[in-house]
Amino acid sequence: MSNYKASRTEESDKILSIFAQNLKKCRIAKGISQEQLALTAGISRSYYTEIETGKRNISLLNLVKLMTVLEVDANFLSDFEEK
């Protein structure tokens, strides 16, 4: 835990990247475009694109909005720790 901060940037990038991949898979499985997902969830398209490309940290409330539209539970977050 002591070196957690030291590797924070690299670790953060990895987490956001894995999340982005999981999110994209869920969206494609649902058969909808980035724009459709963003619109239905009530978030901006540009914000969504940054999320799905791993460039931006997402908030819990926006995460729940996306999960609701995608009809997924939080299990799709569970891959974080091992990869």
Q: Where along the sequence are the contacts to its own copies (CB under 8 A)?
A: 1, 4-5, 8, 12, 15-16, 19, 40, 42, 57-61, 63-65, 67-69, 73-78, 80-81
23 by Cβ neighbours in 10 Å (0-12 / 13-18 / 19+) ranks as buried
* Minimum gap (Å) between residue 15 Cβ and its own copies: 5
Nearer to its own copies, 28 or 80 (CB): 80
* Minimum gap (Å) between residue 3 Cβ and its own copies: 11
CA atoms of 41 and 50, how far apart (whole Å): 15
Contact criterion met (CB below 8 Å) for 20 and 52: yes
